[in-house]
Structure 1
């Protein structure tokens, strides 16, 4: 069964939403709260340790009803079933999309090409568990017999962003190992990492599904040469003790020098940006221990169950996705900002940039036709309160409407309540300020108390007025744990999926990533030959400028 192929603009719900938007576009949220004293309770959901308040949005119950109708008219329910059942919904690449199978329960059964994939998933999990425990308890050692102290993950894209984000987010739970990430092909980057390492006690995890990614293999080769230059033992044996791979290409990994027993498989039904749940997450398991890695998977599985079984009106990923569609396609917003009030989540927004923008940055629909409406949003953000002292000025008083997700935790991990109270007071205050703003009358009273002249008051007054009416979702979670992080990541994964279904696009290919890589290979060959042709004038000038300086 293929995904539904329904142009959302052809649905009755879309047409009704367009009409409804005309009556909503100038409405101030303060008036919506005044009209309905129970609004906050109606537009808040509690699920497990999550409390999600979406009442501070420029929408009404009628808006939500029409959005739920839109979801039904594009057959979202059918799409969700296909998503979880192993059907090849990545039709452009003829693949199933089953990162959810990586965190499923052992007694579940999910088939791809009539073969149950769950047993193999648990075989790899066992391989990860055994390897992790051997590294952590010191029974697996480096070439000089010393236990490992450092792990270097070598990958790019999903092979870097996911593991790096999770390791950073769960730093509180880390063990004695120090985990590093090498991704950019920039030679300065890799050299800055390795200059701090002891080759005798460092394990390298090369993550490349095909073992052919240019950036990853270049970095791996540079590190391998550095390693051998420091090594006085039997070189091939030493490489096999210090390098492991996550790949489908066993032949190339073995040729690199990696022992077959140290090659962790991954499947073509796991997309790179959704792969942290697989053996791509080996560096996560090594950093926080397999037990915590399992809890991360458990949290994601709980969100999976919620998403596929809950009705749309109580379904967190569905509601957040539809609110995003409301702003993107009717208010014509172009960005969404993610602001986690936890420094641990400092890489979370960057992770979601790839997850969302690589998935839903499409301009051709599932019928092969050019799209006439907006699809993916630009995702960005930084942790609060840092972001308040950076880009919040634009959100509060700029000319753009920027929906925001605020993510916070009720309890701090180190138990400093004074700090946590100040942190969360900022979280809550910002959502209130974005809602209410500050009226001309309030600003006038404040200025009058400062004993300023009438002329000075009139001069400064316009600059201190805030219109408010800026939309936010507030996601409160009890505590940052491996399980709650798993839930949070899966929440956004499913939000992205729902939006792709609504927009009638294929969310799981990324052909846009490939073009630049292909051209880079072509240009690199010409650099080696010092012969350039068939390029536009600007590209030729850039090539000659670079070559003349090197």
Structure 2
């Protein structure tokens, strides 16, 4: 990427912009309004990013020189762009109209309705990574639309996680869904076995969501309770597939279809819109701009919508598992930075924890500030609209304060340098359609930056070494292997773990 002619021009552009302050750039109203982009009620405001309109043109030229258009075309054409696994990338097909009209989707929806119409009071989804983060995030995001059984998510092999959920449920009225692409994920299957023991053959029992239905059958799940999905659907991109079953049970098939429709609308925009008006392309190139040319190693996502409080964790996996790579598609070393560290939490709580560092710390962290313009699902009496106006005021105030600052050389502790970039992303209300559209936007942002960086955003080999090492450690702890080959301090900790506790 950095060898492209446009990259050299962008490096010069970045050096020149370092001498300008965001408050000066924002003083140009024509520039500012020219950096606002829309798709329906979804608005992406890039005016507080450290760039000029000419910078955007240069970034799009870099996109052209790195073959972005051709790569997007290959993605939608079903080419095997996941080269290391020799697979097409098919998660977008999971939200296409054809899938919603398919027999597979009808079967999934019928099962969800059966559960919703039964005496089942609780549904527990056991999964980890993409089998947990996406569905759990959407269940929280669309909680105001939930009218089915209570849905719980268990991911951690820490026994307290499953235990504390089970303690609040009754086997006779609880359905357990085990969600695992391979149906061999160690943490998930250990939790699933514990849940099966807890059920004791009573009540609704278990269901499975997997790309390995035979393995699920062999494990003991009934054939009519196994819901499969294509192996080309990566875990972190899978919430649209049968992996979304617990979400569908909670909010109903109609609302789930609305979420899919929002995502499909973003897919079509991404596929057809010219780059100068294409929201995923523009935001993806912002990711490249801030990481590679402005030198920012982290990126914050701050949803000013409490129900979206899990979105940063979902986006963290999405971006860092997809683009946390150091080799190209061909296996050569990458000579430039790739994914930033993604983090964040919901506003306004974040303002009273780490925003001190964002305003006055030594590192500059670009932000996405997310804001629905209207509240949803507030049915109790009260002036909820007034509270939402306070929420919106805080979101906009933070964006402005970070950019403009408040100089005070006389009192250094009260000096706010400003010049800290953010994008403000707003939409009318957090409906299922709007949430689906927003999540698909972030998926495509990840894909765009990965394409430009020249890596494979659809594999995750870096996850594997830890799994292998964990099995070695487990073998030591269960006495089937010794600690040879481990570091001295690892051996010491293994001895401590194995020693009887003081209560034994």
TM superposition score category, shorter chain reference: over 0.9
Aligned counterpart for 2:352 among listed residues 389, 408, 430: 389
Q: Aligned-pair distance for 1:25?
A: 1.6
Give 2:363's match in structure 1, choosing from 389, 400, 414. 400
Instruction: Give the distance between the partners of 2:279 and 2:347, measured in 1 at CA.
Output: 23
Candidates 234, 249, 267, aligned match of 1:304: 267
1:372-418: CA deviations, max 9, x gaps?
A: 21100100001110000011001100010100000001111127211
Q: Distance in 2 between matches of 1:341 and 1:201?
A: 36
Greater Rg by CA? 1
Closer/same/farther in 2, CA of residues 549 and 371 from structure 1, 3 Å limit: farther
The answer for the alignment partner of 1:282 in structure 2 is: 245
Q: Secondary structure in 1 aligned to 2:32? A: helix
**Partner of residue 170, structure 2:** 198
* Aligned: 1:19 with 2:12: yes
Q: Residue 89 of structure 1 aligns to a residue in which SS?
A: coil
CA offset digits 1:152-181 (Å, max 9, x no partner)? 001000000000000011000001410101
| Cα distance between partner residues in 2 of 1:390 and 1:75 | 41
User: Which SS does the other structure have where 2:153 is aligned?
Assistant: strand
Q: Secondary structure at the match of 2:268?
A: helix
Task: Describe the SS at the equivalent of 1:39.
Answer: helix
Equivalent positions of 1:375-386 (< 5 A) are 375-386=338-349
Counterpart of 1:63 in structure 2 is 55
* From 191, 207, 211, the counterpart of 1:219: 191
- 2:435 aligned partner: 485
* Runs of 4+ that moved beyond 4 A: none
Shift of 1:248: 2.6
8 Å CA contact retained: 1:124, 1:279: no
| 3-state SS of 2:172 partner | helix
Supply the distance in 1 between the matched residues of 2:213 and 2:339 (Cα, whole angstroms).
Answer: 36
Q: What stretches of structure 1 of length at least 5 have no aligned partner? A: 1-7, 107-117, 139-146, 229-234, 442-457
3-state DSSP class of the match of 1:92?
helix
Q: Give the count of matched residue pairs.
A: 495
- Which moves more between the two structures, 533-542 or 420-429? 533-542
Deviates more, 1:36-45 or 1:83-92: 36-45
Q: How does 1:425-504 map to 2 (within 5 A)?
A: 425-440=393-408, 461-504=411-454
The answer to whether the Cα contact below 8 Å between 2:31 and 2:53 also exists between their aligned partners in 1 is no
SS at structure 1 position matched to 2:176: strand
Partner-residue secondary structure (3-state), 1:338: strand
Distance (whole Å) between structure 2 residues aligned to residue 549 and residue 43 of structure 1: 63
Name the structure 2 match of 1:332. 295
Aligned to 1:82: 74
Give the drift of 1:525. Answer: 1.5
| Cα offset, 1:135, TM superposition | 1.2
State the alpha-carbon separation in 1 of the partners of residues 306 and 73 from structure 2: 36
Contact 1:285 1:293 in 2 (8 A): yes
TM-score (norm 1): 0.88
- The CA distance in 1 between the partners of 2:31 and 2:296, in whole Å, is 24
State which of 473, 488, 504 in structure 2 corresponds to 1:537. 488
TM-score normalised to the size of structure 2?
Answer: 0.96
1:428 Cα deviation after fit: 0.8
- Deviations 1:217-241 (CA, angstroms, capped at 9, x unpaired): 000000111111xxxxxx4xx57x4
1:38 aligns to what SS in structure 2? helix
* 1:2-41 correspondence runs (5 A): 8-34=1-27, 36-41=28-33
Q: What's the secondary structure of 1:501's corresponding residue?
A: helix
The 8 Å contact of residues 299 and 485 in structure 1, kept in 2 or not, is answered as: yes
Match of 2:112 among 112, 122, 132: 132
CA distance in 2, matches of 1:248, 1:51: 36
Q: 2:392 aligns with which of 424, 432, 446?
A: 424
Unaligned runs of 5+ in 2: none
- Tell me, yes or no, if structure 1 residue 344 matches structure 2 residue 307: yes
1:220, 1:366 → 2: CA distance? Answer: 36
Contact 1:99 1:277 in 2 (8 A): yes
Q: How far did 1:549 drift?
A: 4.4
Given that 2:148 and 2:251 are in contact with CA atoms closer than 8 Å, whether structure 1 keeps it comes out as: no
Q: The residue matched to 1:370 in structure 2 has which SS? A: coil
Q: Is the 8 A contact 1:339 1:407 kept in 2?
A: yes
2:337 equivalent in structure 1 = 374
Quick check: 2:302–2:345 contact (8 Å CA) kept in 1?
Answer: yes
Q: Over aligned residues, Cα RMSD in angstroms?
A: 1.4
Q: Shift of the alpha carbon at 1:291?
A: 0.3
**SS across alignment from 1:210:** coil
